[in-house]
Structure 1
Amino acid sequence: MILTITLNPAIDISYRLDTLVTDGTNRCSHVIKTAGGKGLNVTRVLHCIEGNVCATGLLGGANGQFIVNQLNQLGISNDFVSITGETRNCIAILHDGKQTEILEGGPRISEDEKVAFLCKYEELLHEADLIVASGSIPKDLGNGLYCTLIEKAHQAGRRFLLDSSGEALRKAIPAVPYLIKPNREELAQLLGKKIESREDVIAGLEQLKDTGITCIVVSLGAEGALALYDRKIYHVEPAKIEAVNATGSGDSTMAGFAYALENGFPVEKMLTFGCVLGTLNAMEEQTGFLNKELIEDFLARTTVQILKEL
């Protein structure tokens, strides 16, 4: 079983407008409300490909109940810790060929709620083969929480995949997660230098080669990804598509890596599989969804090659 962690989930609300009127009234008939947060995107994609997955994290209030209800309706296993605060909303307004986002910060988390989550996590660790944690950490929990979760996973003999950024990622690296997946901007922030070209990314991967992390994947959007695995640098080139909605493609890629690792895929197929799921997500209007019937076709159209051995 793959355990996904979403510490700061949300109801993702998408409004599609022809034109956004500022300082006036906008009426919208095209609304999508989804159980959101990066970890829940990972969860839904794993469910789409019939992966064995359970979602956990922190949920509260009517919004939290909405998320649980939606997961239950989809038949997705979940075991969240209840909090007194209200789970946030995140609003995306698609208009004039653009996307304007309004993201709430999220609820306060008490020390007792933090302890309750850690207890739940230790309980679920015994049932999990590997863990995928994605997204931000509520400020009350502290940026070092992923470090704690990784250490507990090591103690249980479980692999931990992390997709985060900023201080949460920086503080997690000494705990040595199995896999991390920064994008170019997140890699630049992590290393404290500009990352503009493919050569800059490769140099950044070389700089991280002695961290002990088994796999470091830097997503490049439509250009695919560069990855460091077993002191080899790989380039994964995706199939060319007309993207409909690229939001959640990174989360779909993480779902692909998790599924591949749980099923013992070799590294080249793991990297390709993750890239394919990210591509297929970008072809769908709804975030964190894909058509699994297209996977085999896109695996054949996605290439991976070794660029360099360190």
Structure 2
Amino acid sequence: MSEHAMIFAPAPLLTVTVEQRAGRPDIHLHAGGQGVWQARMLTALGGRAVLVGGFGGESGAVLRRLLRKEGIQVCPVRGTVRNGVHIQDRRGGRRVTLVEAQAEPPSRHDLDELHNLALVQGIDAQVSVLSGPSPGDPELAPPDVYRRLAADLTANGARVVADLTGSRLAAVAEGGAYLLKVSHEELGAEHLAPTGSVRELAAVMRRLRTTSRQVVVVSRAEQPALALAGGELYEIVTGRMTPADPHGSGDSMTAGIVAGLLRDGDLKAALRLGAAAGAINATRHGLGTGGREAVERLAALVDVRAIDADLGHRVRLDREELAAWLTRD
């Protein structure tokens, strides 16, 4: 097993950004999407990323070339997949989306190929990361794909980290993923933690776990993140930073955690590195970006401390109850 991470990204996104430079439009092409941002930050931190995903059409060809230029190994499934394209205008100082061309859903055969390729690459990796499709593309990868992949990788000795929400999060929890990452905004949007209090979030974290061995991490924007490991609830305290663009900070946090697990497997050290990576990303305008030295210096200042949220009894849910609970209106 080599020291790298397999990142499952069903359909990466091509972003075309228009900026202003010397009074003229300045055009930039970037690979995007959750898995790409995670792979980019992991690479910046010295880790090696192998990205498994669907790549098709002209946008897919461009994406493969862009990712390889960044030092990210690409394992593509071409098939019938057509990658989405977003065109954004940032000349006014903020991100304005002009066009959103959504990806075309993969065929059943393509989904099987994605599962098999991710399984093979994940078994050979030290950590496997399951990332979600674009929020506007709910049909790109059904929850059952994630459940089977998490279960198969775990059964074959892989350590699975999942950064998902809704029914996909429920699926990987049931599949036995080692670490589940979600944001407090996502839990709030699903009416699971409407107030966002520590007590409320901690209760959700306990209910989400299907085994006591699973670790649950909840990012909370500028507030300290929370981590539930074993019987302990931890608060991850990072120094205050002035944000430039917080987009992608949660994915950078996930990548930092994975980078830490790749280094020595120590969970607390990985949580410190993840918190620092998320904070540094928020100070920059690129998604999933950050300098390794800055992240590691900040990580040394991050405090991971046990807290008491007075949680009461743990509630166990079966698979159907958990999926319904996570996706209720």
Q: Give TM class, smaller chain.
A: 0.7 to 0.9
Separation of aligned partners in 2, 1:120 and 1:186: 29
CA contact 2:247–2:282 (8 Å) conserved in 1: yes
State, as a whole percentage, how many aligned pairs show the same letter: 23
Aligned CA distance change for structure 1 residues 234 and 71 (closer, same or farther; 3 Å): same
Find the residue that maps to 1:106 and give its secondary structure.
coil
Indicate the residue corresponding to 2:173 in structure 1: 173
Aligned CA distance change for structure 1 residues 57 and 245 (closer, same or farther; 3 Å): same
Indicate the residue corresponding to 1:263 in structure 2: 263
2:14 is the alignment partner of 1:11: yes
Deviation at 1:215, TM superposition (A): 1.0
CA contact 1:3–1:131 (8 Å) conserved in 2: yes
**1:70-95 Cα deviation digits (max 9, x unpaired):** 12222221111113342101244447
**1:25-53 Cα deviation digits (max 9, x unpaired):** xx971443211110111111111122122
CA contact 2:9–2:130 (8 Å) conserved in 1: yes
2:162 is the alignment partner of 1:132: no
CA contact 1:165–1:186 (8 Å) conserved in 2: yes
Indicate the residue corresponding to 1:116 in structure 2: 113
CA contact 1:191–1:204 (8 Å) conserved in 2: no
Code of the aligned partner of 1:173: A
Deviation at 1:96, TM superposition (A): 5.7
CA contact 1:179–1:213 (8 Å) conserved in 2: no
TM-score of the aligned structures, taking structure 2 as reference length: 0.83
Indicate the residue corresponding to 2:240 in structure 1: 240
Find the residue that maps to 1:144 and give its secondary structure.
helix
Separation of aligned partners in 1, 2:187 and 2:211: 14
Deviation at 1:267, TM superposition (A): 2.5
Of stretches 81-90 and 217-226 in structure 1, the one that deviates more from structure 2 is 81-90
Separation of aligned partners in 2, 1:158 and 1:190: 30
Deviation at 1:178, TM superposition (A): 0.8
Q: Structure 2: 5+ residue runs without aligned partners?
A: 312-329
Q: How does 1:1-310 map to 2 (within 5 A)?
A: 1-16=4-19, 29-94=25-90, 98-101=94-97, 103-136=100-133, 139=139, 141-188=141-188, 192-209=192-209, 211-212=211-212, 214-308=214-308
Deviation at 1:138, TM superposition (A): 5.3
Separation of aligned partners in 2, 1:113 and 1:159: 24
Find the residue that maps to 1:79 and give its secondary structure.
strand
Deviation at 1:135, TM superposition (A): 1.8
**1:112-139 Cα deviation digits (max 9, x unpaired):** 2122222212321332111011123751
Aligned pairs, number? 302
**1:182-219 Cα deviation digits (max 9, x unpaired):** 11132245674524323322232233355445211110
Find the residue that maps to 1:87 and give its secondary structure.
coil
Deviation at 1:148, TM superposition (A): 0.9
Find the residue that maps to 2:125 and give its secondary structure.
coil
Alignment RMSD, CA only? Answer: 2.4
Aligned CA distance change for structure 1 residues 192 and 291 (closer, same or farther; 3 Å): closer
Separation of aligned partners in 1, 2:216 and 2:24: 41
Aligned CA distance change for structure 1 residues 32 and 247 (closer, same or farther; 3 Å): farther
**1:142-186 Cα deviation digits (max 9, x unpaired):** 222110110110121101111111222223321121111111132
Indicate the residue corresponding to 1:20 in structure 2: none
Separation of aligned partners in 1, 2:131 and 2:15: 16
CA contact 2:213–2:230 (8 Å) conserved in 1: no
Aligned CA distance change for structure 1 residues 128 and 203 (closer, same or farther; 3 Å): same
Separation of aligned partners in 2, 1:300 and 1:125: 30
Deviation at 1:63, TM superposition (A): 0.7
TM-score of the aligned structures, taking structure 1 as reference length: 0.88
Separation of aligned partners in 1, 2:65 and 2:72: 10
Find the residue that maps to 1:157 and give its secondary structure.
coil
